[in-house]
Structures are given as C-alpha cells and as structure tokens.
Amino acid sequence: MFEPVSSSLGILWFGYATASAYARRDSAVSSEANALREAVAGVVVNAQRSEVLFGKTAAALSELYSIAAQCSQPDWDGAGALPVDLASLSFAADFIKLIPSSLPLPEVTCDPDGAISLDWMESKIRVFSVSVSPSGRLSFAWLDGSDRGHGVARFAGDQIPPRVLEGIRSIVGYGDATLAA
Amino acid sequence: MATPPSLLDETVADGEPLARFLLSSSHFNSRSVKASAFLPNPTDQESSVFRHGGEPREGLWEIAKQEVAGERTVHGAGIVIAVQVREVKLAVNSAEPPDRHAVITDWPWFPSDPDIQKARQKELALILASQAKLVMRY
C-alpha cells in the first residue's frame, strides 16, 4: 500500500536505514552538517510513523540521502569541497520524484560546491548531467559522442523543464530530438 | 627551468598523467569516473591533481594518504593526461608543495551568473571524465 510521508524538507520518502544511521551520528563539524542531520532525523521520525514505498523512485531517494550523508562534512573530497546544501538536496529529491516512470533514474553525485548532481550515464561518451543549485536553478551539460553542450533552466519543484527532460531522453535513447546548445 | 622539490620539471609535459583522487563513492561507478570528480574547488576554482600515472600503485595510494585523505577512505583515482586537459582550454601547472602536486586551472569563470558558470564547467568536466582512466584501490 502506498502512502505519502510528510517531512520538514518536503521530502516524501527516502532510504530508511541509511537515514536512520545518519541521524544517529554524534559528531558534526559544521552548522550545515548539524542542520542536515537534524532535518534527516525529522524525516526518520516521519518515516517511522508511516512506511511507504514505491519501487525504483524509493531506491533513488535512498541513494540520494546516502550520498548526501557522505558529503555532509566540509572537505569531504579532500580538496576543500563544501558540505551538501540542504536546499539543493530538497530540490534534488523533488526532481527525482518528478522523473517519468518511462525513464531510468539517475546516479546521484555530490559536487564540490555543495550542490547535488544527477547523472544519466549510458556510456563514457553519452552522459547527461544536471546540477541542482540551492536556488532551484538547474545547470546541465551533456556529452553525446562528439556533440556536447550546456544550459541553465529554472526548476520550481513541480515540473521538470521540458528542455531538460528532452535532453535526458535523447541521451538514454527514448527521445528523437537532437540537443542544441 | 626551475625544479620543484620533487625533482619533476616545473612545466607539466603534455604526456604526463595526472591523478585526481576519489574520496567519495559518488564520484565513480563500476565503469568510469564521473564529471563531478573533476569540478574545481568552489573557493579557488582549481582542481587539485598529482603527477602520477597510477604505477606503482603503492606510490599512488601513499600520496593519497599523506597529502589528501588522512584517515578518510581513498576509493581510487581518475587519471587523465595533461594534453587532454589542455585540449579543452584548461591549464595545468605544477603547484608544489606537496611533492608532485599540480592544479587544473582556467575553468570558466562568470561570477555574475554562477549557474551558467557551473554549466560550462560541467561540460568540460564531462569531457575530462570521458577520457579518464578509473583506477580502483580495492
């Protein structure tokens, strides 16, 4: 039975075990990390109240929170990276929930600037990557053989911008449009 | 030509391999390195690399432990060749100490529009990632 879960982040659902483990951590070196931990802890409580889940979207959200936990401390990459940004995390969760079921779900990555990236990687030379900024703007780029490009689109959390959606479709083989920079 | 403490030439030759250490499991998958692994530090807009080609592996992981990771886990490294960096109009320069350290610079810089800046940086990082060799530690 499917049943939505509410949360202070507006996140419907995520990897329960991962988040539980993250929420129980007893050390954090930044206010950002503390805020993230507390937010995740709040979601855990909500998840405990109502269990839910829907297949591959749930798995992708689980991965999102697992990766965010890995990147919650400053310098998580050993090269001065910023901790993952809560607003970016929330927008990324919204984005994942809006991906049509006909499309594969992305691989989740942390960026050094604290943003979350969502990557569709058909091969090393067929990739579409979207970074979700704290403001909700999407910075995206693609590589399709010798063709490549980039763009920016606004994301309000309720609809994936058509240009981004078509870009993903083109890379994963479900679209017939040629991307234009 | 000045010589850095590592005794490597100050100029990074086109044919030199450059190792970008991977401390996040999100920066690679079973097949390849991801673009995010090559994106620059948001503060100085540089990507830190080490002039090492992956062999001997023990030497590579020793650099990672001593100069980058400390107690953190190093999962592997993405290795690109200096000329591949320069072909996308980025620069690579020696930046010792520490020994063998270098930086990838000249990333697109648009402080008035950080989202466009990020998109252009991602495009270049995608190219580097597509050419990178993934070397796993375990």
Contact A120, B47 (CB under 8 A): no
What is the average per-residue pLDDT within A105-120?
Answer: 96
The per-residue pLDDT of chain A, averaged, comes to 78
Is it the case that residue A15 has pLDDT exceeding 50? no
Cα nearest neighbour of A142 on chain B:
B123
Q: What is the mean pLDDT of chain B?
A: 91
Residue A99 has pLDDT above 80, yes or no: yes
The answer to whether the CB atoms of B23 and A110 lie below 8 A apart is: no
What angle is formed at CA A102 by the lines to CA A101 and CA A103, rounded to 5 degrees?
90
Asked if residue A2 has pLDDT above 60, the reply is no
In terms of average pLDDT, the best of A19-33, A155-169, B46-60 is: A155-169
Chain A residue with the nearest C-alpha to that of B113? A152
Strand partners, A153: A138
Q: What is residue A34's predicted lDDT score, i.e. its pLDDT?
A: 65
What the block records as the tokens of A12 is 């419907």
Element (H, E) at A131: strand A126-132
Please state which of the ranges A17-21, B46-50, B104-108, B133-137 shows the lowest mean pLDDT.
A17-21
Best of B30, B72, B122, B131 to disrupt the A interface by mutation (most A CBs within 10 Å)? B122
Q: Is the pLDDT of residue B42 over 50?
A: yes
Q: What is the mean pLDDT of residues A89-103?
A: 94
Residues from chain B contacting residue A138 (CB–CB below 8 Å) = 115
Q: Is the pLDDT of residue A36 over 50?
A: yes
Residue A80 distance to chain B (closest CA, Å): 6
Min Cα separation B100/chain A (Å): 15
Across A21-35, A165-179, B53-67, B80-94, which has the greatest mean pLDDT?
B80-94
Q: Is A9:A93 a contact under the CB 8 Å cutoff?
A: yes
Most confident of A10-19, A49-58, A92-101, B57-66: A92-101
Task: Measure the CA–CA gap between A124 and A12, rounded to whole angstroms.
Answer: 32
Token pair in block for residue B11? 């100029």
Give yes or no for residue A20 having a pLDDT over 60.
no
Strands (E), B63-107: 76-81, 91-94, 101-105
Residues with Cβ within 8 Å of A29's Cβ and at least 6 positions away in sequence, in order, are A73, A74
CB contact (8 A) between residue A131 and residue B44: no
Nearest-CA residue of chain A relative to B125? A141
- What does the block give as tokens for B81? 């060749």
For B102-124, what is the mean pLDDT?
A: 95
